[in-house]
Amino acid sequence: MAEAKPTKCLVVGAGPVGALAALYAARRGWDVDVYELRGDLRDASTTPLNFTKSINLALAERGINAMRHSGSPALLDRVFAEAVPMYGRMVHSASSAGTLTEESQQYDVHGRFNRAVDRANLNKLLLDEVETLPNVKLHFNHKLVGADLRKRKAWFERKAAPPQTADGAQAHQDQTDGREQEVEVDFDLMLGCDGAHSNARYHMMKFVRMSYEQSYIDTLWCEFTIPPAGPTSATTPTAKDGFATSPDHLHIWPCDHGLFIAIPSIDKSFTCTLFAPSATFATLEQDPATITQFFQTRFPNAADLIGHAELRQQFEQNPHLPLISIKCSPHHYSSTGVILGDAAHAMVPFYGQGMNAGLEDVRVLFQHLDAHPSTPAGRTAALDAYSTERVPDAHAVNDLALANYWEMHSGVRSPLTLIRKKVEEFLNDKLPITGFATQYARVSFSNQRYSEVVETVASQGRILLGGLLGSVVLPGMGWAAWWGWRWYAAGHTTRKAVKGFAGLGMFGERVGRMFT
């Protein structure tokens, strides 16, 4: 009996999600071809799709766990070696008297942290790992122009790369040699990992009745850089180890109608982002000379850390880009196609979960593929199960990311938000039997499904408010809430736990629902 041929896997997109997907597929003995629109992403001359060079990302547990299961034990060690731990937020502001303040807000009562990583470097590490495997081929400068998911064929335009001289300069080339050529590729399974403006998704929509929602928020973003601390450069009181401010935090300058953040880099600089309404950008674009005053008014000390001349230069030179949000369903077609990462659920960046969710997609997908036979029927069942699980999670994290914009520019200053965080952390630390944890901890430091996080946190809020009202209005209700927590921690749903409250507890939960 002839041996079955290995699964032919086509990965569209060689970013972090595509590279990890290729690694997972190759570790299973599949025959893997990766096609990328741009040149080799490890080449410093390759321009990223969003035209920025240094994007730092927050690598959290979900992304780490996905790489942990990649079959490459040394991969995480290499990633961690070039990452900067961030233990919380540092909120910058100024008093009415003009005094500059820094307030540290830890992410987690147990000291858990995220890691700041450079996207380009993470991409390089993943591609280097993929390239060591003999059953993977990388194809750069290839644009997906067509796909037939029934016939399992895809077509790419291959851009001819200009030849180079010995010193790396481009040699003269006849124009006819640079014409784009089309190549046809057969596959068993196509993984679309090609970003928010995905060609893989576009061609998949011709074969599946996909619900699709794309929206933009009225906020643009622009990148800035705080350089390493120098002998005469501005610093803050928490500056250390050559960083202009604390390297242990994600820095936030909140204001009513905007946000400025800074994330540390391994080279001791900070990658920064201004988020503001499009009207604000339009005003600043009309008169760039006002950018320094704008920063000094809304983001105290940030302009000093960047440098006033550099601030204006970076504002004028760096692009002002929109923020897109995408939801779609399903994420697959039959046994032959599936989309992952931003292709399936592009989101605004305010929870730092975009890349983490995309990497988690890979782990969840292959968990389902491993649970079924490597046949067309088996892959159909696996992809059905994947979409059933992942679509609600993708929609949930998309909503969480959008809601966290308020958290970052207003919630960090809200007494009620901070009180709830302290209560939930106290219960998590001192009374773990309650099962309480903050939303941030569930999203960033666990692998609980995003949709379950939303449900659990909503239930926690109702219980907390019901218990609070009970302790104020009806003295016995506080004890009822306690017994409700006991039921919750024992593995019952909150709805079942509330049934155990008896009369007062049930009333407290109902009252809580009215206010949450």
What pLDDT band is residue 323 in, cutting at 50, 70 and 90? very high
Position 435 scores a pLDDT of: 76
Of 272, 297, 322, the position where a domain reaches its end is 322
**Euclidean distance between CA atoms 275 and 253, whole angstroms:** 11
For every residue of 13-43, which 3-state class applies, written as one string?
CCCHHHHHHHHHHHHCCCEEEEECCCCCCCC
The pLDDT value given to residue 498: 35
The pLDDT value recorded for residue 219 is 94
Residues 307 and 454 in one domain: no
Contact criterion met (CB below 8 Å) for 321 and 220: yes
3-state secondary structure 395-441: HHHHHHHHHHHHHHHCHHHCHHHHHHHHHHHHHHHHCHHHCCCCHHH
Answer with the residue of higher pLDDT: 444 or 166. 444
Average pLDDT (244-260) is 93
- Residue 407: exposure state from Cβ atoms within 10 A (0-12, 13-18, ≥19): middle
Q: What is the DSSP string of 49-88?
A: TTS-S--EEEE-HHHHHHHHTSS-TTHHHHHHHT-EEE-E
CB 160 within 8 A of CB 189: no
Query: CATH no. for residue 401?
Result: 3.50.50.60
Segment 283-296 mean pLDDT: 96
Is pLDDT above 80 for 494? Answer: no
Model confidence band, residue 159 (pLDDT cutoffs 50, 70, 90)? confident
Burial (CB < 10 A; 0-12, 13-18, 19+), residue 82, is: middle
Same domain for 333 and 446? no
pLDDT value at residue 154: 98
Residue 482 has pLDDT above 60, yes or no: no
pLDDT tier, 171 (very low <50, low <70, confident <90, very high otherwise): very low
What is residue 56's predicted lDDT score, i.e. its pLDDT?
78
Same domain? For 280 and 337 the reply is: no
Lowest mean pLDDT among 129-143, 146-160, 467-481: 467-481
Query: pTM score, two decimals?
Result: 0.85
Considering the domain architecture, whether residues 201 and 79 belong to the same structural domain is answered as yes
155 shares its domain with 232: no
Write out the residue range of the structural domain in which residue 135 sits.
8-83+112-160+179-214+325-405
Average pLDDT value over all residues in the chain: 85
- Any idea which of 61-70, 153-162, 265-274 has the lowest mean pLDDT? 153-162
HSE-CB for 437 with a 13 A CA cutoff: 21
How do residues 387-433 score in pLDDT, each as one tens digit? 999 999 999 999 999 988 876 655 555 666 667 667 776 677 676 77
Mean pLDDT of 477-504: 44
189 with 304, same domain: the answer is no
Asked if 57 and 142 sit in the same domain, the reply is yes
Q: Are residues 42 and 143 in the same domain?
A: yes
DSSP class of residue 447 equals -
Mean pLDDT check: name the lowest of 47-51, 364-368, 421-425, 442-446: 47-51
Is 90 within a domain? Answer: no
User: 31 with 149, same domain?
Assistant: yes
The number of folded domains in the chain is 3
Strand spans (E) along 285-367: 321-329, 332-333, 337-339
Answer yes or no: do 313 and 281 share one domain: yes
Cβ 481 vs Cβ 467: under 8 Å: yes
- The separation between the first and the last C-alpha atoms of the chain, rounded to the nearest angstrom, is 63
Burial group, residue 342, by CB count within 10 angstroms (0-12, 13-18, 19+): buried
Same domain, 441 and 500: yes
Residues 503 and 375 in one domain: no
Q: Averaged over 375-398, what is the pLDDT?
A: 98
* Spatial separation of the C-alpha atoms in residues 130 and 134, rounded to whole Å: 9
